[in-house]
Structure 1
Amino acid sequence: MELLTINNVWMMICTALVFFMHLGFAFLEIGLTRQKNTLNILFKNIFIITTGLLLYALVGFNLMYPGFAEGSSGIFGFAGFGLSSPLTAEGALDLTYNEGYTYWTDFLFQGMFAATAATIVSGAVAERMKILPFMIFAVIYVGIVYPIAGSWKWGGGFLDQLATPFYDFAGSTLVHSVGGWAAVVAVCLLGARIGKFKKGEIQAIPGHNIPLATAGVLILWLGWFGFNGGSVLSADPGLTSLTLVTTCLSAAAGGVVAAIVSTIMYKNLDLTMFLNGILGGLVGITAGADQMSPTDAILIGAIAGAIIVFAVSLIDKLKLDDPVGAIAVHLICGIWGTLAVGIFGNLAGVDQFISQLIGVASYAVFCLATSFIIIYTLKKTMGIRVSEKEELEGLDVHEHGMDAYPDFRLNEH
């Protein structure tokens, strides 16, 4: 009983840290975009976490953990609507649910993860997507697509049933790539912001508050202590400590290498590249944080940091407009981190690497298909992009009727 209490308290602390990450996402997104769209981004972030929790309680949790029957395909299952209160015959709370935490803690911890996938898309479509279509997309993606995808591994589905099970400790693929694939589809269907690409040349559109973006990244790094540390699913001192060490070392290596590579390539000390390198290192280590040595973690983070610089450049050359670097950070580094499980650490080997490839491919097909169906349908029925006038004058005024900074408004175009 005492061990359960200790484990459960740690899990609740981690849940709070993951919740805090949503503030980090909000700060990062508004910092890297223009002030005339600040309220719009904040509204989307608040909508995602509130609606996401309600949807996860109503359908998501039981879609993600359906209790696949033995011999089932492990692709789709549903344990029913709503949360069931696990009680003993005497009517008391049943504490035999799991040796690491209670049913309620499990729901809340996993619910915090669910909203993150849609938040990734929010940053990629910033400054030009209508608010209502985004809200509809977020409801479907968080409520249905993410939990079904999650069930394939964390719910005991077909990827967990492979001869060499696919491995994703805390969600390089299950969370970050699921959001990243949808971000690719959304950016392609939306098109670039006005002024981003002129006569074939890439134009920088600076964010309005880099200090706020920096605060957002540091908050996200802190939140990752819960994201990865909580994924141990207990307060096991050895494994939890190792996980936090590998997480931090990978983040640090990612930031340093991204800063060095971008300085060599562009001859300037780019803080935003430094920040995205940290996030790339965090995403990269997430799939195998509990399996890596400190040296492995540094190598994974360092490679992720280099990947970020080249990925951001590639995305620009492909004329894809991603204002906050969400695709490079969450999708490309998510794929790298997932494959790294088969290269580094305790699980390294050919069979594991093949399983990791199968997992990456499975999520790519499912997420690309579902997000395209959702967003393309919205585009053809109600439209997904604001008008040129609304985009130039800012979504805050046109979508929300107010300014984030009413006493300090610049004429941004």
Structure 2
Amino acid sequence: MNLPEDEREFCAWARELAVTELLPLAEQGDEGRVNRPLLRAMGRLGLLRALFGGAPESAPEDAAATQLCLLRETIAALSTEAETALALQGLGSYPILQSGRPDTVRRWIPGVVSGEVVASFALTEPGAGSDAAALALAAEADGDGWRLHGEKAWISNAPEADVYTVFARTTPDTRARGVTAFAVPGDAAGLTGEHLDLLSPHPIGRLRFDGVRVGPDDVLGEVDGGFRVAMRTLDLFRPSVGAFTLGMARAALDATIDHVATREAYGGHLADQQAVAHHLARMATRLEAARHLVYAAARAYDAGSPQGEVTKSAAMAKYFATESAQAIVDQCVQLHGARALERGHLLEHLYRDVRAPRIYEGATDVQLSIIARELLRERTTP
């Protein structure tokens, strides 16, 4: 897919920084833990500001979703650890930037942009994953504020984050209509947590809320309007999850093309085998189709397209790109053979990391349901 010159320059800028500055720091981090030196470097280099459409002279203007996808795809092809550290800062802080009171934005966003404040998006619960409207974390009225009671699970950057965007139920028995979003400090009294050991390139944990106090200034958006805050955030970030997996698939395919072009077998090279060549062709075609869907969804968001179109495009992009990346990486492992399963091999690393994106921010089957819902809505809308 051909990109405009300004977007190509932006990708080149991000790639250069990733190679020279981020890779050494990513390699020094502890697996499953927040890498604060890496985040501070991202802040110093302007990468975190670029998450929201800001920054270098080469950056596209007014293209937050497109720029986010370009960043994630570019960096993912080099380091999944660096990519997820960057993306989670955006996911955790975007609801604050989008819907926070001015004082709340001033309290948290400068630190997020500098890399000094670690942000986290806390939506999922043990009993509310794909069915996000089934949230049970209770926000009980307490004077002019609330007390949070309950648990969150499989939360990225938990329990190490400095600020959490937390979604809690302020009105019982109302599903999506009774959820409110709050900005909750990581050191709030009554908030505890623990790490979880998951097959994922980033830290994930569990949070427990034992009477955590939040006030009216901590509300993001409107009381009982938190579900809209969550969905607007996901509409922005779902295409970029697809972009993340595009970067992984591109790295896997590039390594596999090099491998089959030089690996001697059957009196020639593996690439001489028609079956192998056809696998390459199918993978490249699928990758290119996924890239078109991802950037079409990002550009629809940036253009201010109707909400239903944005939601459907985001779901299509995440569904097709994540499923395609999984299939591509799997086939690349097959073409490499046993060497790709050795601990530390690029394909072994990508094979582990490519699985989680098919689940988080809405599993594949959820995306299919969203697409079907929007198709039927379009049919009945005059």
TM-score norm. by structure 1 comes to 0.24
TM-score norm. by structure 2 comes to 0.25
Normalized per residue, which structure has more helix? Answer: 1
Normalized per residue, which structure has more strand? Answer: 2
Higher RCO, Cα 8 Å, sep 6+ = 1
